[in-house]
Structure 1
Amino acid sequence: MKKELRKRLLERRNALDAARLSAAAARHLAGFLRERGAREVLLYLPFRGELSPLELPALYPEARYHLPRTAPDGLTVHPFTSPRERHPYGFEQPAANAPRSDPRRLDAVVVPGLAFDRTGYRLGYGGGYYDRFLPTLPEATLRIGLVPAALVLERLPRDPWDARVDWLATEEGLLHATAPDN
């Protein structure tokens, strides 16, 4: 079911103007992070048409930014300025020997996803990296999905191990994810 849904949603995302939507979402997200005093923020390097959070450092320079690396044992966190390498799937990430950051110090994590639902669950690419990473963070860490409004759905299929975000940042603004009614 998720495989067919991914295919349909990728087609929908590919028809969108990701650059325009990214810029608008980043402006909303910068204001949101500033209002909440977030100083340590995990971003991601966009891949396959994902919305890009990479305007945030210019829009909200008061924060210190970090990037994730996919490692065999899960995501690791590294300074944004770390040297980078290309992952076998084609996206960039911090190099294996890049210095690490302590994920417990993060005030906010910006989470990529193909789509999110209104309760904060996401549909990614099936690797489960964020599903394993998000529950390890302190409860106070802001968990924010970055997604086009056209890919915020009422409900996505979910598995027991899926982790949710608390906020959705779109080109229209920030949406507080509602608690799921299981």
Structure 2
Amino acid sequence: MPKRSLRQQMLARRRAISHEEWQEASRSAQLQLLTLAEYARAGCIALYAPAHNEIDTALILADAFAAGKKVLYPAVCGQEMVLRHVTGLECLQRGCFGILEPCPTGEDHLADQADLFVVPGVVFDRRGHRIGYGKGFYDRFLRHPGRTAHLVGLCHDFQLIDGDIPADGHDIQMEIIVTDRRMIRSKDRGVIEQVDQTSR
């Protein structure tokens, strides 16, 4: 299925879930992510502010602050994305596309300054490929040559499809996909190991 059709189909499905379903899925997915060794080792993490029933990140933010981690959030500047340090949700305001982002004060950070990125998306596949909203902000930003951060896609379980997403050469691949039901890890040569977490 073409990317545009996949995107439209999944956005409609995500918008149709109830607030209760969103809350429960968000809680489960975030708790899964907090078990990652890559998260535990990270001194600086990049999160996102959810939009249109994306999985929430507030629990991760609270845990990161409690653990003394530095937290960065994305902000859109023209056709590019930057990261800015936040010390609480009160640092966020409505920005580009109506999504919460850090206030335009302080230093802008590049992709090489985070140890772990929690990346939103509309559709993911088991190889770690991702479809976003079509603007390419994350793909351009994460191509920074100095980036060493682990990339973790965070989504509802229904956003993880069985087939392969049509991938372009500039698309950035996730190392780990975390949903409210399971985690998928990339292995060497694109082989995927699925870790079923539904019995947790």
Superposition TM-score, scaled by structure 2 size: 0.80
Taking the aligned partners of 2:74 and 2:141, their CA distance within structure 1 comes to: 10
Give how far 1:19 is off.
1.5
- The secondary structure found in structure 2 opposite 1:165 is coil
Q: Which has the higher helix share?
A: 2
- The secondary structure found in structure 1 opposite 2:97 is coil
Give how far 1:64 is off.
1.8
Query: Which of the residues 169, 178, 183 maps onto 1:174?
Result: 183
With a CA cutoff of 8 Å and minimum separation of 6, indicate the structure with the bigger relative contact order. 1
**Percent of aligned pairs with the same amino acid:** 25
Alignment map for 1:58-137 (pairs within 5 Å)? 58-60=62-64, 61-62=66-67, 63-81=69-87, 83-136=91-144
Give how far 1:180 is off.
4.3
Query: What is the aligned-residue RMSD (CA, Å)?
Result: 2.2
- The secondary structure found in structure 2 opposite 1:131 is helix
Taking the aligned partners of 1:94 and 1:8, their CA distance within structure 2 comes to: 30
- The secondary structure found in structure 1 opposite 2:151 is strand
Give how far 1:50 is off.
0.8
Q: Which consecutive unaligned segments of at least 5 residues does structure 2 have?
A: 192-200
| Contact 1:68 1:75 (8 Å CA) reproduced | yes
Which range moved further: 34-43 or 172-181?
Answer: 172-181
Taking the aligned partners of 1:155 and 1:34, their CA distance within structure 2 comes to: 26
Matched, 1:46 2:50: yes
Superposition TM-score, scaled by structure 1 size: 0.88
What residue identity is the alignment partner of 1:64?
A: K
Q: Could you tell me which residue of structure 2 aligns to residue 25 of structure 1?
A: 29
Q: Could you tell me which residue of structure 1 aligns to residue 194 of structure 2?
A: none
- The secondary structure found in structure 2 opposite 1:136 is coil
